Amino acid sequence: MAAVQRLLRAAASGGSAMAAAARRRMTSLATDQAPSAAAGFSFAAEERVRRRPMAERNVQWVFLGCPGVGKGTYASRLSRLLGVPHIATGDLVRDELASTGPLAAQLAEIVNQGKLVSDEIIFNLLSKRLKKGEDQGESGFILDGFPRTVKQAEILDGVTDIDMVVNLKLREDVLVEKCLGRRICGQCGKNFNLACIDVKGENGLPAIYMEPLLPPNNCMPKLITRADDTEEVVQNRLRIYNDMSQPVEGFYREQGKLLEFDLPGGIPESWPKLLQVLNLEDQEELKLAAA
Ligand code: ADP
């Protein structure tokens, strides 16, 4: 964790030769002129020797999956179960958007069109988040929404070992409905979904039933919809996912780290099944704590 954070901090801030190399790397990544990411990081090998063996640290997992599939829902439940932070780059971007910081206006334009934010900005935000966590004694992580391109995956691979990558899958028509039904309570920040998904199995696609995840009465009047959850922007995000992020699945598949998980339905059906495939189903006490 510290190695990742050190690298990203160096990449984003600067001051030393290492930081300068990282910054050069970041700039070239952002402008698409660099050779392969792994080759460009001259200090990656130095970082690699600082990797901690799996037995001495907490899990380092990644959640992949299309917009609306439920990465945030399952990653946050598992983070409570395993006592590791759930770090969602989409949340970091939205926090920055909601701030009065210099990046806010620039980010709004990109995010509201469903496009990807530059690697430089993402590494900067992630670095700050990891630093904060490190100061609070965090160990391990479940990453959600990162890496989203093969370049980001290569950079991450250059500095730390990812133990497992969970790839959540759901049919595309359901993804769109789920994104359109998504609501956030403007006060407590909890996520809900007003969509009731009930689609028949057809053309080889499975039938899916998902109950709405309704808010309590006190959240109801404070519900907000993400500006990028309109049909047009969701379709754009799905296209961008297929072009830019799906290759990340192949990257981890080749490493033998990809766990494919077809969601069988809503949380009541999917959560126990996910725990089972992760060999966590026996941890009843922890399961209750995460519910
Ligand atoms: P989704 O519901 O599409 O999975 P997220 O909440 O993960 O969305 O992210 C919201 C937006 O934040 C993305 O559409 C993108 O603009 C930006 N973003 C998040 N993570 C990344 C990343 N790793 N690289 C580039 N842009 C990102």
pLDDT in tens, 133-143: 989 999 899 99
pLDDT score, position 20: 36
C-alpha of residue 89 to centroid of ligand 1, in Å: 6
CA 232 to chain centre: 22
Angstrom distance (rounded) from CA 51 to CA 255 = 18
pLDDT score, position 173: 92
CB 113 within 8 A of CB 232: no
Nearest atom of ligand 1 to the alpha carbon of 89: 20
Residue of 77, 171, 178, 237 marked active site: 237
All residues at 6 or more sequence positions from 167 whose CB lies less than 8 Å from its CB, including other chains: 64, 65, 249, 252, 258, 259, 260, 261
pLDDT score, position 112: 94
CA nearest ligand 1 atom 3, residue: 67
pLDDT score, position 247: 98
Residues of the chain with pLDDT under 50: 12-50
> Is 226 part of the annotated catalytic residue set?
yes
Q: Is 262 helix (H, G, I), strand (E, B) or coil?
A: strand
C-alpha of residue 109 to centroid of ligand 1, in Å: 13
pLDDT score, position 282: 66
In the chain, DSSP assigns E strands to 60-64, 86-88, 141-144, 164-169, 182-185, 191-193, 197-199, 208-210, 223-224, 258-262
Residue of 6, 25, 71, 183 marked active site: 71
pLDDT score, position 47: 45
Residue of 24, 51, 94, 226 marked active site: 226
* Residue from 8, 96, 103, 117 whose mutation best tests the ligand 1 pocket (most atoms within 8 A of CB): 117
Helix axes 104-111, 89-98, angle to 10 degrees: 130
